[in-house]
């Protein structure tokens, strides 16, 4: 199968027809609809914010939680900012999530969120960077508008960059296990985050990212601080792990404080991972130098896949579009939804000609998706204009800081890229509602009477290209009406 990227956000694998003057398209799965920017750190004012994370669930897709580093408490302080939406991402309430009082510090950050599709439970947490600090987390039960009090998963003055995951326990699909991984190891909770095991050390590295497969298998990806994008795997719920597995060997490794991109921000080399909840396919994306162009290193996104629970990996390939001369792509985040679509968020400098040695970087956020296991991708530019990396809202700049990663979540028929943009002269946190209503036959970003008229006017059509074929089975009949009614009123706004 060919591997390609579409730079215009058109329909993927489409037969286009002009019916009644409207361009209609028919595919097995509808084009996702990308809504406008929604700022979610509303109480942060003009203070800095960076390093995003977001989670939602398929069981309660109207409930969405996001997090970021928040600087609203003034110079020298960092907090974990959290925003909660109970209406599918349309409106948000934001607040600061702090550890229990004995473990608080001036700097609390590295936000993380996680979802449990079995129960619809959400968690948010972070790290307190103090001698008596450590990793903390709080649970939000389904239907509740607030989080439970935070608990310390591990007290330590050395914890760095944690992420969380949740899923069924191996061999027991009626039980949830919650995981947190960071530089000191992996912790497990069997009581929905109330208590935690001591960390099980995994490896020397950074950016330990846990994921849970459909049978409860646990994967942790990380960067070995050299050329290795690495994986540890557990088939017994985090009780023990096999030997390290190489996902990919990088062609380039750089000092994160002197990166191969424009701008003065740092650029750690992290490894990102996602698992298909249906078939267990494991996907990884990372960024690496492809070649040199005009004295600049060309940094691209590389993608690879495993079909044997992470034991072996395909040769990585570049998945992003680009410009000529090329820009740089970095800070990706990857998720897979319940129907196997892969969603991707990343930063990109392609739209402004610039050099690696320029102090300012002009950056855009991009969303991309793949319906064929990562072989082809369709991209959409999210930011209205490229933002200046130096306008980060921090009084200590330069160097600037736009965080070390970005976040994206999926829930139900929606995806939510969550990213920093300095478009307002300081760093703010934005999301988009990307919805997948298969009943949107006329492409106007909402399922409504216009789509019903198309479907009824096409009733009984048989064969490829039926404009009313909402379910992609090749004809227009009662099943398409069911799809449309199920999606009725969904929109990307």
- pLDDT tens for 151-164 read 999 999 999 999 99
Q: What pLDDT shows up at residue 5?
A: 61
Statement: residue 10 has pLDDT above 50: no
Q: What pLDDT shows up at residue 95?
A: 96
Q: What pLDDT shows up at residue 491?
A: 76
Q: What pLDDT shows up at residue 7?
A: 47
Give the chain's domains with CATH numbers: 4-28+439-486 (1.10.1330), 33-435 (2.120.10.10)
Q: What pLDDT shows up at residue 464?
A: 62
Give phi and psi for 177, each to the nearest 5. Answer: -120, 140
Residue 95: closest CA among 67, 61, 126, 63? 67
Give the tokens for residue 259: 């990166």
**Strand order in 206-212's β-sheet?**
206-212, 218-223, 228-234, 245-249
pLDDT tens digits, residue range 303-332?
999 999 999 999 999 999 999 999 999 999
Statement: residue 26 has pLDDT above 50: no
**Strand order in 108-116's β-sheet?**
108-116, 121-128, 134-140, 151-155
| Separation between Cα atoms, residue 411 and residue 385, nearest integer Å | 28
Give the tokens for residue 240: 């023990």
Q: What pLDDT shows up at residue 40?
A: 97
Residue 389's SS3 state is coil
DSSP one-letter code for 101:
G
Of 23-37, 74-88, 272-286, the one with minimum mean pLDDT is 23-37
Of 124-138, 316-330, 448-462, the one with minimum mean pLDDT is 448-462
Strand pairing category for 185-189 and 172-182: antiparallel
Residue 85's SS3 state is strand
At how many degrees (to 10) do helices 478-486 and 449-457 cross? 180
Ranges assigned E (strand) in 71-171: 79-85, 93-97, 108-116, 121-128, 134-140, 151-155, 163-169
Mean predicted lDDT score pLDDT of the chain: 91
Q: What pLDDT shows up at residue 413?
A: 82
pLDDT tens digits, residue range 160-211?
999 999 999 999 999 999 999 999 999 999 999 999 999 999 999 999 999 9
Residue 83: closest CA among 56, 108, 61? 56
Q: What pLDDT shows up at residue 447?
A: 87
Statement: residue 444 has pLDDT above 90: no
Give phi and psi for 423, each to the nearest 5. Answer: -65, -20
pTM of the model: 0.89
Q: What pLDDT shows up at residue 473?
A: 74
């Amino acid at each position: 199968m060919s591997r390609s990227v579409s730079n215009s956000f058109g329909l993927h694998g489409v037969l286009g027809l002009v019916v009644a003057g409207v361009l209609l398209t028919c595919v097995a799965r509808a084009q996702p609809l990308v809504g406008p920017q929604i700022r979610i750190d509303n109480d942060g004012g003009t203070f800095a914010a960076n390093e995003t994370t977001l989670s939602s669930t398929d069981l309660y897709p109207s409930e969405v939680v996001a997090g970021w580093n928040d600087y609203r408490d003034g110079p020298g302080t960092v907090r974990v900012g959290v925003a909660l939406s109970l209406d599918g991402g349309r409106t948000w309430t934001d607040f600061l999530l702090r550890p229990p009082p004995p473990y608080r510090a001036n700097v609390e950050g590295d936000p993380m969120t996680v979802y449990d599709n079995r129960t619809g439970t959400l968690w948010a947490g972070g790290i307190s960077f103090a001698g008596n600090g450590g990793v903390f987390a709080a649970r939000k039960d389904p239907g509740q508008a607030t989080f439970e009090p935070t608990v310390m998963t591990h007290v330590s003055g050395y914890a760095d960059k944690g992420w969380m995951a949740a899923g069924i326990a191996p061999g027991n699909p009626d039980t949830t296990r919650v995981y947190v991984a960071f530089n000191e190891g992996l912790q497990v909770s069997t009581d929905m985050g109330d208590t935690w095991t001591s960390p099980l050390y995994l490896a020397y590295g950074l950016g330990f990212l846990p994921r849970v497969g459909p049978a409860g298998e646990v994967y942790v990806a990380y960067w070995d601080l050299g050329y290795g994008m690495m994986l540890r795997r557990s088939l017994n719920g985090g009780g023990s792990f096999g030997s390290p597995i190489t996902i990919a060997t990088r062609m380039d490794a750089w000092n994160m404080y002197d990166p191969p991109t424009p701008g003065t921000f740092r650029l750690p080399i992290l490894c990102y991972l996602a698992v298909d909840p249906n078939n267990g396919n494991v996907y990884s994306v990372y960024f690496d130098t492809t070649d040199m162009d005009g004295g600049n290193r060309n940094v691209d996104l590389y993608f690879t896949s495993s079909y044997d629970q992470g034991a072996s990996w395909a040769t990585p390939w570049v998945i992003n579009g680009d410009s000529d001369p090329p820009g740089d792509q970095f800070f990706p985040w990857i998720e897979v939804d319940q129907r196997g679509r892969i969603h991707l968020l990343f930063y990109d400098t392609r739209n402004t000609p610039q050099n690696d040695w320029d102090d300012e970087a002009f950056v855009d956020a991009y969303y991309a998706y793949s319906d064929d296991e990562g072989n082809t991708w369709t991209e959409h530019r999210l930011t209205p204009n490229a933002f200046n990396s130096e306008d980060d809202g921090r009084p200590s700049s330069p160097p600037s800081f736009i965080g070390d990663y970005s976040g994206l979540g999926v829930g139900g028929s929606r995806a939510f890229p969550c990213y920093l943009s300095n478009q307002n002269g300081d760093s703010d946190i934005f999301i988009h509602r990307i919805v997948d209503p298969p009943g949107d036959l006329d492409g106007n970003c909402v399922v409504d009477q216009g789509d019903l008229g198309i479907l009824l006017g096409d009733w009984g059509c048989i064969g490829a290209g039926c404009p009313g074929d909402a379910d992609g089975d090749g004809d227009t009949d009662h099943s398409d009406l069911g799809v449309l009614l199920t999606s009725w009123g969904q929109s990307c706004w």
